[in-house]
A and B are shown apart, each in its own frame.
Chain A
Amino acid sequence: MADSLSSFNKKIAVLESSLSGPKLKRHMIDIGKMSKRVAFNAAQKDLGPDGEFSGWKGDLGTRFDHLSDGVISFKPKSKKSAGKWTTANDGRNRGMGGFAGPGVNRRTGLTSDSVRSGERKVQRQRKVKAKRWNGYTDGKGTADRAQQLIDKNVEKMNRDFVRAATKHLM
Chain B
Amino acid sequence: MANKISVLIDVTVDKAVSSLKNFRTSIAEADGAANKFKAGGKAAFEGLKANAGAFAVGAIGSVVAFSGAIIKAGGEMAAMDAKAETVFGQSLGRVKKWGDEHAGAMGLTTREATTAGAAIADLLKPMGFSEEAATDNALALMDLSGALSAWSGGQRSAAEVSTIFTKAMLGEREELKSLGISISEADVQTRLLQKGQEALTGAAMQQAKAVATQELIYEKSTDAQKAWADGSMDGVKSQNEAKSATVRLGEVLNESLYPVLVNLVPVIAETAEGLLPLAENLGKVAGQLPEVFAGLNLTSSSADKAWRSMEDLKGEFEAAGISGAEFAEISGKVQFGVIEMDDALQILAVAQRENSLAFDTATNRAAGYVDEARRATEATEDLGSTTEGLSGTFETAADVARKYELASAEVRDETKKLEDAISDADDALSKLKGNVDQREAWRNMNESLGELFVAASSADTSMEDLAVATDDAILAVADFVEGAKDIPPEVKTSLYAELDAGNLAAVQLYIDGLARGVDLPVRPKVVGAGASLIAIGSGGAIPRFDDGGVMPGPKGEHNLALVAGGETILPTHKGSGAGSSSGGNTTINITTNADPNSVVNATRRFGRRNGPGL
A: residues with CB less than 8 A from B are 1-9, 11-13, 15-16, 19-20, 24, 27-28, 31-32, 35, 39, 62, 67, 69-76, 82-83, 85-86, 89-90, 93-96, 99, 101-102, 106, 133, 136, 143-144, 146-148, 150-152, 154-156, 158-159, 161-163, 166, 169-170
Contact = CB atoms under 8 A, between A and B. Distances in A.
A133 B241 contact: no
Contact of B24 (A16, A20, A28): A16
A74 B4 contact: no
B7 A75 contact: yes
Top 5 nearest A-B pairs (CB, nearest first) are A143-B4, A5-B31, A82-B3, A95-B1, A75-B6
Interface string B240-279: 0110010011001101110110010000000000000000
Contact of A19 (B17, B253, B387): B17
Interface string B469-504: 000000000000000000000000000000000000
Nearest to B372: A151
A4 to B, nearest CB: 6
Nearest to A15: B20
Contact of B373 (A39, A86, A96, A151): A151
Interface string B115-131: 00000000000000000
A163 B245 contact: yes
B11 A27 contact: yes
Interface of B: 1, 3-14, 16-17, 20-21, 23-24, 27-28, 30-31, 34, 104, 238, 241-242, 245, 248-249, 252-253, 255-257, 259-260, 263, 366, 369-370, 373, 377, 380, 384, 387, 390-391, 394-395, 397-398, 400-401, 404
A162 B4 CA distance: 29
Given A82-B3, A85-B5, A159-B242, A16 B21 contact: yes
B27 A9 contact: yes
Contacts of B11: 24, 27-28, 31, 70-71, 154, 158, 161
Contacts of A136: 391, 395
Contact of B4 (A4, A5, A86): A86
Given A28-B11, A147-B5, 9 more contacts: A12-B23, A39-B5, A73-B8, A94-B391, A143-B3, A147-B7, A154-B9, A155-B238, A158-B11
B3 A9 contact: no
Given A4-B31, A5-B34, A8-B27, A155 B366 contact: yes
B3 A169 contact: no
B381 to A, nearest CB: 9
Contact of B10 (A4, A13, A15, A70): A70
Given A27-B11, A76-B5, A169-B256, A20 B17 contact: yes
B249 A166 contact: yes
A3 B9 contact: no
Nearest to B242: A155
A143 B23 CA distance: 42
A57 B6 CA distance: 21
Contact of B13 (A1, A70, A94): A70
Contacts of A9: 24, 27-28, 31
A20 B13 contact: yes
Question: Which has the most chain A C-beta neighbours within 10 Å: B11, B12, B370, B384?
Answer: B11
Contacts of A35: 7, 9
B3 A86 contact: yes
Contacts of A5: 27-28, 30-31, 34, 260
A148 B23 CA distance: 35
A151 B387 CA distance: 24
A71 B249 CA distance: 22
A102 B400 contact: yes
